[in-house]
Amino acid sequence: MPEYILIDGSQGEGGGQILRTSLALAALLRQPVQLENIRANRRQPGLKTQHLAGVLALARITDAEVKGAYKHSTRLAFAPRAIRGGRYRFEISTAGAASMLFGAVLPALLFAPQASEVTITGGTHVAFSPPFHYLEKVFLPTLKRMGCAVDLELVRWGFYPKGGGEIRAHVKPCRDLQGIRLKQRGALKSLQLSACSTPHLPEHIVQREIAQVEKSLIAYSEILKSETLLCRAYSPGNFVFLQAEYEHAAAGFSGLGKRGKPAEDVAEEACRSFREFEETAATLDSHLADQIILYTALARGNSFFITEEATSHLMTNIDIIRKFITVGIDINSSTGLVTVQGTDLNAEAAT
């Protein structure tokens, strides 16, 4: 067995992304890893419920030997064996982000020798995490362009505080992960607004949100389409999603309602993020750049894209990737152009 790689969880942004990227790479490379100071830069350091669920999920997928896997733990040793696809169900007992757990296990499942079906319960539309709609409309279509086949289904919505949402993914092994080349996003072709609310809340909320978006983005009225969705969940919830389709790229912007937050503010949150993206030459929004960088490092061939901002999440992610593999990644700070020399990890190598 190779020696453990030591990862300091307090470096860079010091959050859960360090844990997820470290365990994903450990699983793919069968490389034991030891993490210390997990989530040291957060108000409540250590493993929260959703992080622990991710650790245990990857341990199950890789038959890993694990030490320190308990709530609030700040140290973890993880020694994976072979990746096994199949049918899995992972439950987060709180409104912890199902999307984060999905992001943690997806790299391993893409490089499994057989197809997988994975069901995850928890929060599907919660703060500080990509909502289901972003995964479905932006992240996974980008992965598809790189050669990955993943279908994602929203079985039940999950809002804070009860959670209880459910997503289900069907993942096929990716035999040829290819680099992505996006130097121009092209013209904006369409804007799709989805305004969603649970039956617990007054109907006028989504109508006010649609009106606010139409007012705020009046310059785009010819291509802006709106829809209302009734979402059933255990907790009251409200959510808006603005999907921007360009000739060569896609981007998504959201607003999440909460008690005391006016509907107009929820809608404007998404509009403001879209306008800021439009003012740049970016081909990927900053969230997608952070999510996709691992896949470009593993892909065959070079990748390049322009991000609207080189966030601390992105830079920390790159630092963690370099702890595991030798990969050329360059970021032009003036233009936001990110260039990655892929290392060509194929499915056979991972198993």
CA-CA distance, 30 to 61, in Å (whole number)?
12
| Catalytic choice (51, 125, 133, 313) | 313
Q: Active site includes 125? A: no
Residues recognised as catalytic: 313
